Structure 1
Amino acid sequence: MTPSLIAGCAWVLAACLIAPLPIRKQILPGTVLGLGGIALLFWIGAENGWIWTVVGLFAFGSLFRNGFKAVPALLRGEKLDIPDV
């Protein structure tokens, strides 16, 4: 297994550890993971080819699907309802 795929597995595990946190505590680590995930996808693609990049893209999209819904709402100027819990 290449170093980029090992890093990808570690990224997925980190995302799974952050997921059960309350929403307010997910924002900073989720942002770091999201930006790191994009760089990681490029690394995976360069080292392993486009098929593994697509697999990583599906994992990335699955873990950040709610974040992807929030970005257009923020761009439209809508206020997000983030619970205090």
Structure 2
Amino acid sequence: MSQSLLIASLWVLAGTIVALLPMRLQYGPGLTLLILAPPVIGFIGYQHGWLVAFGGVLALVSMFRRPLRHGIAKLRGQKPEAPK
């Protein structure tokens, strides 16, 4: 098994576990996974090519679309409402 596949599998497993947590407990681990995602995708792209890395970026944006919208709104100076 290639190293990138193992790393990606562990990242996906961690994401699944975080998704099972109540929303109030997801912020810390979710932010950690969001920060670790670009290096993981970069490593996958290095080993398997830019097309696979692009697919990883699309999957990342799809999974984190709400937190990314929230962060962009905060950067714009808006006051987005956090989920309860």
After TM superposition, the score normalised by the length of structure 1 is 0.83
C-alpha displacement of 1:20: 3.1
Q: Which amino acid aligns with 2:65?
A: R
RMSD between aligned residues? 1.7
Matched, 1:46 2:46: yes
C-alpha displacement of 1:61: 1.4
Inter-partner Cα distance in structure 2 for 1:64 and 1:58: 10
Q: Which amino acid aligns with 2:66?
A: N
Matched, 1:82 2:77: no
Structure 1 gaps, min length 5: none
Deviations 1:21-74 (A, max 9, x none): 232211110111011111101111111111210221122112111111111111
Structure 2 gaps, min length 5: none
Inter-partner Cα distance in structure 2 for 1:69 and 1:62: 11
* Matched residues, number: 84
Matched, 1:8 2:8: yes
Matched, 1:28 2:2: no
Asked which structure has the greater RCO (Cα within 8 Å, sep 6+), the reply is 1
C-alpha displacement of 1:11: 0.9
Spell out the pairing of 1:55-66 with structure 2 (5 A cutoff): 55-66=55-66
Q: Which amino acid aligns with 2:14?
A: A
Inter-partner Cα distance in structure 1 for 2:66 and 2:82: 12
Give the share of equivalent positions with the same residue, in percent. 36
Deviates more, 1:56-65 or 1:41-50: 56-65
8 Å CA contact 1:37, 1:60 repeated in 2: yes
C-alpha displacement of 1:83: 4.6
